[in-house]
């Protein structure tokens, strides 16, 4: 049965209405939080976590690649994964910019690889032999600088493909370069986009880089993210294979440098410049002594020289013991 108000309680309510006051209520007060139903949260937290892991793998591979290309310590970290409106992203991009528009072959998925102009100029300067601290006054990226940067961008697209193999086979293709965000329209202003922000360290310098995906075409990808076990997600091409089998297959195709050391000798610089054809250099080994077999400059085996079918060869005699190392 519903509770019936007394006359005194009814009078109190009417008085509050006339004076514009609020009726007092008993019980613990709850904090009221505003909620915007227009928020572009198309992607769940679990899917965001998986996407973050994918791009952390991508960042690690690009770090290793730039380390060898730039001859400097390079670290790339994922600092945030956000869902915002495309109009908000457009306002956050400076001018001029270094924007590479790409799409996924065979799908409607489009995106933007945004590389900060400072990062672009630093990378180009190092690739051309500089220290990475340029003095260029204009921030506009010239066609020559674009050509210098092209192999780096192609490598990034290839590494993105490898990183997304945990979900599906996706081929990322560069469509064009833009320096103005107003000409890089990948979706409508009111649509949501997924922004992955990276912090790039080259030596003691810090730069920013962003990946922007238009999420309206992400539905098929999101469904695959939802259907798989996020903790044990693996590349589709490795399905049915154990990690040991995959690693073994890669190791079997790995190339190694093998060198055979016939001996060593110490001569003066005068003797070296006076060497003539037919001169003999006395080594520290004798004919018939086992020779060092080095793999990637590490002494691992002993062997003897010879010929096989008219080709120079070396016969492996035994493995180097730990005490010999």
Q: CATH no. for residue 70?
A: 3.40.1550.10
For position 232, what pLDDT does the model report? 47
Which residues, given as ranges, of the chain have pLDDT below 50? 1, 23, 229-233, 235
SS3 content of the chain, % helix, strand, coil (to 5): 35, 25, 40
Residues 286, 221 share a domain: no
For position 154, what pLDDT does the model report? 93
Structure-token match 């560069």, residue found: 174
Residues 195, 290 share a domain: no
Please compute, for residue 36, the number of CA atoms within 13 A of its CA located in the half-sphere on the CB side: 5
Asked if residue 96 lies in contact with residue 180, where contact means CB atoms within 8 angstroms, the answer is: yes
Domain count for the chain: 2
Sign of CA dihedral 184, 185, 189, 192: negative
Residues 309, 189 share a domain: no
Q: Can you tell me the distance from the alpha carbon of 102 to that of 236, in angstroms, rounded to the nearest whole number?
A: 23
Work out the mean pLDDT of the chain and round it to a whole number.
Answer: 81
Range of the domain at 290: 258-319
For position 242, what pLDDT does the model report? 61
- Residue 21 in domain: no
Instruction: Spell out a b/e string for 128-138, using b for 16 or more CB atoms within 10 Å of the CB, else e.
Output: eeeebeeeeee
Residues 267, 231 share a domain: no
């Amino acid at each position: 049965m519903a509770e019936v108000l007394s006359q005194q309680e009814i009078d109190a309510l009417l008085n509050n209405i006339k004076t514009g006051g609020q009726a007092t209520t008993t019980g613990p007060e709850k904090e009221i939080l505003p909620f915007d139903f227009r928020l572009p949260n198309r992607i769940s937290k679990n899917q965001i976590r998986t996407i973050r892991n994918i791009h952390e793998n991508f960042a690690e591979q690009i770090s290793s690649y730039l380390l060898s290309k730039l001859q400097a310590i390079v670290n790339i970290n994922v600092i945030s994964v956000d869902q915002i409106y495309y109009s908000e992203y457009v306002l956050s991009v400076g001018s001029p910019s270094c924007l590479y528009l790409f799409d996924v072959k065979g799908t409607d998925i489009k995106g933007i690889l945004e590389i900060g102009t400072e990062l672009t100029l630093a990378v180009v300067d190092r690739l051309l032999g500089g220290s990475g601290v340029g003095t260029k006054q204009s921030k506009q990226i010239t066609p020559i600088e674009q050509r210098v940067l092209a192999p780096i961008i192609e490598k990034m697209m290839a590494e993105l493909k490898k990183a997304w193999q945990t979900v599906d086979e996706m081929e990322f293709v560069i469509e064009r370069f833009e320096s103005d965000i107003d000409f890089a329209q990948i979706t409508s202003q009111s649509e949501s986009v997924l922004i992955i922000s990276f912090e790039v360290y080259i030596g003691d310098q810090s730069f920013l880089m962003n990946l922007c995906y238009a999420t309206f075409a992400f539905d098929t990808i999101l469904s695959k993210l939802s259907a798989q076990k996020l903790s044990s997600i693996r590349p589709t091409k490795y399905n049915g294979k154990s990690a040991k089998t995959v690693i073994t297959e890669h190791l079997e195709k790995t190339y190694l440098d093998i060198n055979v050391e016939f001996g060593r000798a110490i001569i003066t610089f005068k003797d070296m410049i006076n060497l003539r054809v037919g001169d003999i250099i006395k080594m520290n080994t004798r004919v018939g002594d086992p020779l060092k077999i080095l793999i990637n400059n590490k002494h691992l085996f002993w062997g003897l020289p010879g010929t096989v079918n008219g080709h120079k060869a070396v016969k492996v005699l035994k493995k180097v013991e730990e005490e010999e190392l």
